[in-house]
């Protein structure tokens, strides 16, 4: 069987989740590798949520929110998400993780097509990269 | 008067500062010795492992265990002491979340041995001798403990009843812990024996507007002693760190580096600080012309060493990924 990456996606309620919905009703095709978690705002996503997802075996994590600078319904949640993701990527590099496994995208409620494209691209990229070895690493059991 | 308690103290992968913290209680130590006899304390008294083995299970009321677990001897002692103690206290940052030794988890045994025994500029080792766990000599076999690939907090290897945070724990917290234990009014298992507040809550500085467009390092600048350090651009771990130290470092005009461990209720410390910092790092400036976020980000030099200085080994991602 070919390798199917597991992607956890945190989508903000107002833009990106609606964008995903639009992709669905418009019948755009995209791979089924994404597990969606709807959050009120991308600014709700705590870095610990992302790290936990990796620790529990996610091969990729997608955070998607409203376009900056002004689309976020909570004024600056998307800008906070941008900073969290940027700092996490630096952290991931230090910890020997491939930072491409974490992806931030701006998807509006009108961008169903973009949503489908992002998921397709990300899935293909992760397929190429192969499984994350996160699980084995995080438990620190081996001596 | 009720009979005296029996205390034990032990050190594993630590610097020795936690032992000094006990002595730092000064005359308050007399109060401790009023309620307890110290029956095991290798740093201060002559006692052998076999004496501990000879103790009945649960013989000691409390063992204060400082240091992380880095090798097999430390794990063996942690397990032995756990058996001989009614309560096991992880004493100090290293036992609690790995502490500074836990930062070694950005590397591994192989790399560490390579640097320490072969490559460091001060090493002269023409025969390339690297420690082994067993070696045959004419007199028989000699053994050394196994150096683990990673550093582990104490609760990775044994059940821990209480945590006493700090690098080292402030003497006042140690004394409070002893008083609570002596009173018999013990808090719920797993409790952290420190106040339910953050370092910011204890910090006397003026806090006004937390929005920064520059990350400053303490090696390059001297902070204003009255204003919040974070507001001045220094990364101060105060918002993500449990208080109880009385904001010791801040009162010495140094940013908090986070030795108090995660705030009450937080999953882990480092990502909490990343989250907090994200809310003040050039947010207002983002909407201005000419703002360069990437440039701002390059001023953050060492995320692991900054956000996880004392807690890497106890965090969600607790070691470098093995490829
Ligand atoms: S960030 Fe540091 S200096 Fe500022 S209030 Fe908190 S503890 Fe005090
Ligand atoms: S200010 Fe921070 S680093 Fe300093 S003693 Fe308190 S908790 Fe530890
Ligand atoms: S509501 Fe969509 S990112 Fe904040």
Look at residue B72 in the predicted model and tell me its pLDDT: 96
Look at residue B3 in the predicted model and tell me its pLDDT: 85
Asked if residue B77 lies in contact with residue B10, where contact means CB atoms within 8 angstroms, the answer is yes
Task: Tell me if A2 is assigned to some domain.
Answer: no
- Please indicate whether residue B223, judged by its CB atom, sits closer than 6 Å to ligand 1: no
Look at residue A1 in the predicted model and tell me its pLDDT: 64
Dist CA B134 CA B143 (whole Å): 4
Look at residue B323 in the predicted model and tell me its pLDDT: 61
Asked if residue B304 lies in contact with residue B293, where contact means CB atoms within 8 angstroms, the answer is no
What average pLDDT score do residues A91-111 get? 97
Look at residue A68 in the predicted model and tell me its pLDDT: 93
Closest among A88, A83, A16, A11 to A47, alpha carbons compared: A88
Q: Evaluate if residue A143 carries a pLDDT over 60.
A: no
pLDDT band at A140 (very low <50, low <70, confident <90, very high): very low
Which residue ranges make up each domain of chain B? 5-100+150-183, 106-148, 199-314
Q: Residue A38's domain spans which residues? A: 7-142
Which of B69, B154, B265, B275 is the best mutation test for A, with the most CBs of A within 10 A?
A: B275
Cis peptide before B178 (omega within 30 of 0): no
Across-strand partners of A37? A10
Beta strands in B272-318 (DSSP E): none
- Whether residues A55 and B317 touch (CB distance < 8 A) is answered with yes
Dist CA B177 CA B149 (whole Å): 33
Quote the minimal CA–CA distance from A115 to chain B in Å: 25
CATH superfamily of B5-100+150-183: NADH:ubiquinone oxidoreductase-like, 20kDa subunit (3.40.50.700)
For a substitution probing ligand 3, which of A75, A78, A85 has the most ligand atoms within 8 Å of its CB? A78
What average pLDDT score do residues A12-33 get? 97
**Least distant ligand from the CA of B310:** 2
Task: Tell me if A98 is assigned to some domain.
Answer: yes
- Please indicate whether residue B273, judged by its CB atom, sits closer than 6 Å to ligand 1: no
Dist CA B272 CA B266 (whole Å): 7
Mean pLDDT over all residues of chain B? 95
The minimal CB distance from B304 to the residues A55, A82, A94 is found for A94
Task: Tell me if A23 is assigned to some domain.
Answer: yes
Q: What is the CATH number of the domain that holds A23?
A: 3.40.50
Q: Evaluate if residue A138 carries a pLDDT over 90.
A: no
Look at residue A2 in the predicted model and tell me its pLDDT: 84
DSSP string, A46-69: -HHHHHHHHHTT-SEEEEEEPPTT
- Each residue's pLDDT tens digit, B175-216: 999 999 999 999 999 999 999 999 999 999 999 988 999 999
Distance A117 CA to ligand 2 centre (A): 47
- Each residue's pLDDT tens digit, A103-112: 999 999 999 9
CA R_g for chain A: 15
What average pLDDT score do residues B296-313 get? 97
Dist CA B167 CA B297 (whole Å): 29
pLDDT band at B2 (very low <50, low <70, confident <90, very high): low
**Overall domain count for chain A:** 1
Task: Tell me if A125 is assigned to some domain.
Answer: yes
- What distance lies between CA B46 and its chain's CA centroid? 27
Dist CA A30 CA B72 (whole Å): 50
Strands B60-66 and B5-11: parallel
3-state secondary structure of B89: strand
- Each residue's pLDDT tens digit, B35-88: 999 999 999 999 999 999 999 999 999 999 999 999 999 999 999 999 999 999
Chain A residues touching B271 at Cβ < 8 A: 46-48, 51, 88
Task: Tell me if A106 is assigned to some domain.
Answer: yes
What average pLDDT score do residues A130-138 get? 67
Best mean pLDDT range from A34-38, A130-134, B1-5, B279-283: A34-38
- Each residue's pLDDT tens digit, A59-80: 999 999 999 989 999 999 999 9
Interface of A with B (CB under 8 A): 46-48, 51-52, 54-55, 68-70, 76, 79-84, 86-88, 90-91, 94-97, 133-134, 136-138, 140, 142-143
């Amino acid at each position: 069987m070919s390798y199917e990456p597991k992607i956890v996606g945190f989508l903000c309620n107002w833009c990106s989740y609606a964008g995903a919905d639009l992709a669905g009703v418009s019948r755009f095709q995209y791979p089924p590798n994404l597990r969606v978690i709807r959050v009120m705002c991308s600014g709700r996503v705590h870095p610990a949520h992302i790290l936990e997802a990796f620790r529990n075996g996610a091969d990729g994590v997608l955070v998607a929110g409203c376009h900056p600078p002004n689309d976020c319904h909570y004024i600056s949640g998307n800008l906070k998400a941008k900073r969290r993701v940027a700092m996490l990527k630096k952290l991931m590099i230090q910890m020997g993780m491939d930072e491409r496994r974490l992806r931030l995208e701006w998807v509006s409620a009108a961008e169903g097509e973009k949503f489908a494209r992002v998921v397709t691209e990300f899935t293909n990229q992760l397929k190429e990269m192969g499984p994350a070895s996160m699980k084995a690493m995080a438990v620190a059991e081996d001596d | 008067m009720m009979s005296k308690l029996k205390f034990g103290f032990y050190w594993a992968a630590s610097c020795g500062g936690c032992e000094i913290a006990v002595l730092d209680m000064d005359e308050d130590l007399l109060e401790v010795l009023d309620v307890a006899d110290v029956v095991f304390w290798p740093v201060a008294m002559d006692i052998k492992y076999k004496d501990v083995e000879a103790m009945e299970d649960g013989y000691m009321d409390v063992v204060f265990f400082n240091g992380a677990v880095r090798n097999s001897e430390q794990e063996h002692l942690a397990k032995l002491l756990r058996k001989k103690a009614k309560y096991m206290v992880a004493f100090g940052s290293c036992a609690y979340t790995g502490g500074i030794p836990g930062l070694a988890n950005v590397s591994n045994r192989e790399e560490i041995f390579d640097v320490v025994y072969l490559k460091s500029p001060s090493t002269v080792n023409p025969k390339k001798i690297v420690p082994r766990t067993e070696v045959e000599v004419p007199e028989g076999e000699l053994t050394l403990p196994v150096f683990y690939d990673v550093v582990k907090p104490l609760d990775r290897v044994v059940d821990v009843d209480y945590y006493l945070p700090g690098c080292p724990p402030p003497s006042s917290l140690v004394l409070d812990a002893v008083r609570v234990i002596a009173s018999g009014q013990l808090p719920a298992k797993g409790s952290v024996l420190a106040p339910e507040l953050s370092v910011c809550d204890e910090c006397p500085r003026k806090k006004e507007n937390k929005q920064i467009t520059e990350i400053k390092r303490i090696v390059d600048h001297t902070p204003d002693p009255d204003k919040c350090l974070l507001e001045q651009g220094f990364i101060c771990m105060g918002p993500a760190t449990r208080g109880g130290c009385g904001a010791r470092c801040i009162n010495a005009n140094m940013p908090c580096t986070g030795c108090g461990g995660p705030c009450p209720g937080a999953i882990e410390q480092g990502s909490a600080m990343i989250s907090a910092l994200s809310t003040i790092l050039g947010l207002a400036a983002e909407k201005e012309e000419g703002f360069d976020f990437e440039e701002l980000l390059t001023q953050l030099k060492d995320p692991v060493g900054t956000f996880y200085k004392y807690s890497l080994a106890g965090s969600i991602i607790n070691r470098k990924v093995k490829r």
